[in-house]
Amino acid sequence: MLQRFFLLFLAAGFFFVACDNSENDQPRDVRFQLELRKNGNAVALRDTVDLSNGYTFTLTKFLLYLSKVELTDVNGDAQELKKIALLRLEEAGNPFFTGTLKPGLYTDISLGLGVDSAQNEADPTSFSQDHPLAAYQQTYWTMLKYRFAIIEGRSNDSGRLGSNNDILNAYHPGTNPLYQTVEQDLSFRVPGESSVPQLKLVVDIDSLFDGPHPIDFRSQPQTHSDTATIEIARDLMENMAAGARIEKVGA
């Protein structure tokens, strides 16, 4: 009788352990933010900053598509956090999305800046209003397909803004050849409990315009990725990729 009770006790223990392990294997939420920075400080919409390219700049609009956000686990397998996301900078707080990953350790991360070529062929009218690729987002142009980013503002190289010498800046990069990928080694653990780990894509605003391809606001104030200004759009996307980095929040 005692032996039978002992066997039943062991079986129950194994059952509960199995339940616990199953519970810990369930995908967990991971939060992914976008932060625009200047000299290590966050930049919000409507902020005015003195840039390293010699201009004072007020940011009035910033949005960015991210595609195929993936992390590689310790077995070398890519796990998708998000297929497509549209992040809009606001006046308060960083834009973010939430995806899911299985608990465990991840060793690197990759993502696309813009809309990858497959998704760039999508019909914007086929999506529900809240989908990142929906026509409601007002990011799709028939002549261009999706704008990968929208960066707009007002600038002046006199040291102050508010005169008739101000420059209106509007950068709308798009088209498949401008799509950029960012890859980075990153030791990142997703816990098996209820806490939500966080990642952050950091874009330095100086690097956007004063990176490998300096952009002068007065001679290169705008691009809509048309033939005449496509090089400006390409320079902007390459600058963004060169200066972007992913951080663990709280690490």
| Cα Dmax for the chain | 95
The pLDDT of residue 58 is above 60: yes
The rounded percent of the chain whose pLDDT value lies above 90 is: 82
Tell me the C-alpha distance between 84 and 67, whole Å.
Answer: 4
Residue range 2-28, pLDDT digits in tens = 455 444 444 444 333 333 444 467 899
Q: Can you give the pTM of this predicted structure?
A: 0.89
φ, ψ (nearest 5 deg) of residue 24: -70, -20
Mean residue pLDDT across the chain: 90
Q: Which amino acid is at 124?
A: P
The length of the chain, given as a count of residues = 251
